[in-house]
Amino acid sequence: MVSEHSDASGGDTALALKILVAGGFGVGKTTLVGAVSEIRPLRTEELLSEAGQSVDDTGGVDHKTTTTVAMDFGRITIRSGLSLYLFGTPGQDRFWFLWDELSQGALGAVVLADTRRLEDCFPAVDYFEHRRIPFVVAVNCFPGARQHGAPDVSRALDLDRGTPVVLCDARDRDSGKEVLIRLVEYAGRMHTARLLDSVG
C-alpha cells in the first residue's frame, strides 16, 4: 500500500507505505510493532488456551501467555513526509489465511527470526520469496541466546543472494527503526530494478 496525502500544514505530499512484520510464533512481532509505533498500537491478542495446546508449538517460549489472532497495527514516521503503516501478522499456521489479505499492497516485509528456533521463520521466508515481496530478515537477539552472524543466518535460511539480514532488539525503538529503514531502502531498490526490467 502506497498512499499519498497532503500533510497537516497543506504543504508537501506525505507518503505512507505498508510494511508487514512476520515470523514464527513468539518471535517478537507484537513487541517490535509496539516498540516503534508512535501511536498506541492496535493489538488483537488473546490468552493462550488449553484447546490451543494441541496445535500451537510453545517450545522455547514457555513464558508466552497470549497470541496474536488477527494482526498488530502501528505507525511510525521515518522522516518528514514518510510514514510506515506496520501490520504484524499472526504466527501460527491456523491463522495464515489472513496473510494473503494483509500482504495486499505491501511494499515489503520484516521476517523476525529467533536463532534458537530458526526453522520457525522458514514459512514466512518461503511466503515472501514465492510472492516476490521484498523482505529483510531481522534476527531478534534474545538474552542468553547464542549469537550468530548475519552470513551464518543467511546460509542457514538459504536466502536469495542480496536479501539483507540484520541483528536487532525488538524491544528497542532505535533498533527496530533501523530494521525498517533497511527494509524501505532494500524494497525501493528491488521495485526500481523490476520497473527498469519491465521497460527495458
pLDDT, mean of residues 1-22? 73
At 139 the pLDDT is: 97
Summarised one tens digit per residue, pLDDT across range 117-163 is: 999 999 999 999 999 999 999 999 988 778 899 999 999 999 999 99
Contact partners, residue 27, CB within 8 Å, separation at least 6: 91, 112, 113, 114, 117, 120, 121, 140
User: What is the C-alpha to C-alpha distance for residues 154 and 165, in angstroms, rounded to an integer?
Assistant: 7
- Let me know: does 165 contact 149? Beta carbons within 8 Å: no
| Mean of all residue pLDDT scores within the chain | 84
Sign, CA dihedral 155-140-49-98, equals negative
Give the three-class secondary structure for 120. Answer: helix
Task: Tell if the pTM clears 0.95, that is, is over it.
Answer: no
Summarised one tens digit per residue, pLDDT across range 55-94 is: 445 555 555 455 544 578 999 999 899 999 999 988 766 6
Q: Is residue 176 predicted with pLDDT exceeding 70?
A: yes
